[in-house]
Amino acid sequence: MEATLGPAVLVKVGVQTLCTKPSDGLEGGVIKEFCEGLRKQLGNDLEVYEGPGMCSATSSKPEIVNRFFVSSADFWVQRPWDTVDSTATFVLHFPSSKASRYFVVLGKNEADRGLLMAYSDVDLILMHKKYRDGQRKEDERAPQPNPSGLRPSHRTPVAAIFKPIERIPFDVVEEIDRYDWVTHERVPFVMDYPEHRPRVMDEDGQLLDDFPDVLRPTTIKDDELKFLDIAMRALPKVIAERFKGDQSPPPFRHLCDISTGEEMMQILIRHKPVASFDFELSTFDVNNIFADKQEGT
């Protein structure tokens, strides 16, 4: 029963289980049908991916994942997607790891709310172009080919997406209960995010609050989870200080002091807009749109 329903469902109905050898034959089939029917009655009829827990998927210790959950809960409360959209790119430099990552806040125009982490600015440029082409209206110009010379990184961008607790793998729910991780209304879930996903309408034409997909957990390194943790702590502070009103500020550099719960650190953050394809030109060479304009042209 526990294998079919999952521990999260059993907790809801107050059922305690004693694990024994699975039943075979008719008895096993009857139990499985009963469990599937109970899941539907509890509103858990959506397909659920039985993926690994956060500790397994990130090769991280429980205390490190908990720090990520703490920063995620604060990130959710501050709702930075109400202020910035996915055209604002934040480059964070991590001196201890000698690495840089490119971050974008999701939620203002996308179906998902969370934080995207890419490995190059080209990844973001091409993602933005693909999203813009997908939103093109019939009376607008046809999508242009990708500029030559733009090569994405060999790694797929990942994102920490906020999901209801009933929409995440049961192993993660078990970890939350076992290690007493800090959670809020939504739970962060790390997954591959190769493209922006537009908002989805229901049958009545209302925007859905959650993308109706089956989550596929992404295996990332321990350092990558720490990068997401640090970014979720730093970016709301920078956005609150730098973004005023409806106007996006010009590119800037910002030194931000944060605490990870383990140490104090200073992070250099650069802000720049993603190269936009939202313009109309009568004639142009798509391979030169990023080149500086020369005098007399």
pLDDT of residue 294 exceeding 90, the answer is no
Q: 142 and 71 in one domain? A: yes
Residues 131, 223, single domain; the answer is yes
3-state secondary structure 174-185: HHHHHHCCCCCC
Number of structural domains found in the chain: 2
**Residue 30 and residue 85 in one domain:** no
Which residues face 102 on adjacent strands? Answer: 91, 118
170-175-176-179 Cα dihedral, nearest 10 degrees: 160
Does residue 145 share a domain with residue 10? no
| Domain span including residue 247 | 59-278
pLDDT tens profile 234-260: 999 999 999 987 778 899 999 999 998
Please tell me whether residues 141 and 246 are part of one structural domain.
yes
In a domain, 51, yes or no: no
User: Are both 175 and 34 inside the same structural domain?
Assistant: no
User: Is 293 within a domain?
Assistant: no
Note whether residue 157 is domain-resident. Answer: yes
Residue 231: name the closest of 211, 205, 213, 258 by CA.
Answer: 258
pLDDT confidence of residue 297 = 43
Q: Is residue 158 part of a domain?
A: yes
| pLDDT, tens only, 63-94 | 999 999 999 999 999 999 999 998 899 999 99
The answer to whether residues 138 and 84 belong to one domain is yes
Same domain, 273 and 155: yes
Lowest model confidence (mean pLDDT) among 105-109, 225-229, 279-283: 279-283
